[in-house]
Amino acid sequence: MTLQSDTTLTAFEAAAQERRWVAKVRSGDEAAMTLLVERHRRRLLRVAGNVLRDSHEAEDAAQESFLKAFREIGKLRDDRAFSGYLYRICVRLCMDRLRSRRAEPAEFDQAVEARNRQVETKVVVDDLLSLLSPELRLTLVLREMEQFSYDEIAEVMNVPVGTVRSRLHAAREKFRKHWVEAVGEV
């Protein structure tokens, strides 16, 4: 069993390959498990990092996601749905971590102070993302930073596509409003 570069595989071939690996994991094949981790690790880390805004905590959440997915692989009804299953686990774990954090008041003044100190745009974006509710922030991060499709976001967040669209609209509007107030430009 070799890992072909995902760039050399068509989407259909990659999906078929992943189904084969999932079937092998079900029968205890550790090599297939390693291949699935290699395929999804970087993107899972990006998702967790963008949601949690902490690289160490993101690493823990990603690792915990793989462990839970492999431990509970018997609950997966369709081998074709592994990636969505894995990302849903990751998002739930990240949301649990966000909820368990001590609530800190997110004040707009932090973003204004950041602008006054002329920090990099990334810091301002991070501050402004923290002003959004976890659901809006997650929706915006998955769409704009991770380039997930509406259907992928709906699957990961376990909500209808219409809910994704409305949350994304609200998140963009709130983010834009905060951006204009913080930076003074559209």
Q: What is the mean pLDDT of residues 21-34?
A: 92
Same domain, 97 and 110: no
Q: Please tell me the predicted confidence (pLDDT) of residue 109.
A: 46
124 pLDDT band, cuts 50/70/90, is: low
b or e along 56-74 (b: 16 or more beta carbons within 10 Å of the residue's beta carbon)? Answer: ebbbebbbbbbebbbeebe
Outline where 10-160 has alpha helix (H).
11-26, 30-52, 55-71, 82-100, 108-116, 121-130, 134-140, 150-157
Q: Please tell me the predicted confidence (pLDDT) of residue 106.
A: 52
Domain count, the chain: 2
Cα–Cα dist 130/108, whole Å: 10
pLDDT at 163 over 60: yes
Same domain, 126 and 56: no
pLDDT at 176 over 50: yes
The pTM score is 0.58
Same domain, 6 and 78: yes
Q: What is the mean pLDDT of residues 181-185?
A: 70
Q: Which domain holds residue 35?
A: 1-101
- The more confident residue out of 50 and 32 is 32
35-60 per-position pLDDT tens digit: 999 999 999 999 899 888 889 999 99
Q: What is the mean pLDDT of residues 123-132?
A: 78
pLDDT at 11 over 70: yes
Q: Which domain-ending residue is among 80, 101, 122?
A: 101
- Among 16-25, 66-75, 113-122, 141-150, the minimum mean pLDDT is found in 113-122
Give me the CATH number covering residue 97.
Answer: 1.10.1740.10
Chain Cα centroid distance, residue 1: 28
Helix or strand holding residue 171 (H, E):
helix 161-183
